[in-house]
Amino acid sequence: MEPKVKAAVKQVITPAELLNHWQGHRRLTRRTIEAFPEEQLFTYSVGGMRPFAVMVNEMMGLSAAGIKGIVTGEWISVKELDYLSGKSAATTKEELLAQWDTVTDEIDNCWAQLLPEQFHENILAFNTWEGETYAMVLYWIDNEIHHRAQGYVYLRSLGIEPPAFWNRA
């Protein structure tokens, strides 16, 4: 235990903790997907907003292509990203969850290749958005929290209790 604490004490958050923070949110989003009835996942909307499955595509696109971009330095374009986000390749909840799990593995694999000093490197994500790596990763996490919360409103307005926000296990 001692070496872990000593290393951690110098950091606000370690790379391993940030990964777990991210994947903890992704575990909660996965439960949010599961909570939707199959049909409403792909069709239901409040206030003219996108169905939750389309928001999930956006999350997966940003996360998977984003972490790959950070690690490889090779970025798909925003146009390609928009295409990934806009389309719903998955047509069933099961397919969508399978894609989700693939992205989970991709994030873990890419993260293992990330060097601690990279978090303050300036990048041009998707050849479009400039910023430091840590801020970009936080942005993708925040974007997921944001759209998942909109999914919570969809669920509530369908009379379905969303998963507990505090549970990231």
Q: What are the distances in angstroms from CA 71 to CA 11, 31, 87, 91?
A: 22, 28, 25, 30
Among 85, 135, 140, 167, binds a copy of itself (CB under 8 A): 135
3 binds a copy of itself (CB under 8 A): no
Q: What are the DSSP E strand ranges found in 42-143?
A: 122-125, 129-132
Question: CA 36 to CA 22: how far, in whole Å?
Answer: 22
Nearest approach, Cβ of 34 to a copy of itself (angstroms)?
18
Among 21, 27, 31, 93, binds a copy of itself (CB under 8 A): 21
The CA-CA-CA angle for residues 103, 143, 100, to 5°, reads 20
Q: Using CB under 8 A, which residues numbered 29 to 58 contact a copy of itself?
A: 46-49
Nearest approach, Cβ of 92 to a copy of itself (angstroms)?
25
15 binds a copy of itself (CB under 8 A): yes
Q: 3-class DSSP state for residue 129? A: strand
CB of 168 within 8 A of CB of 87?
A: no
Among 3, 5, 73, 169, binds a copy of itself (CB under 8 A): 5
Question: CA 97 to CA 64: how far, in whole Å?
Answer: 14
Total of chain residues touching a copy of itself, rule CB under 8 A: 42
Residues that bind a copy of itself (CB under 8 A): 5, 8-15, 17-18, 21, 25, 46-49, 116-117, 119-120, 134-135, 138-139, 142-143, 145-150, 152-153, 155-159, 165-166
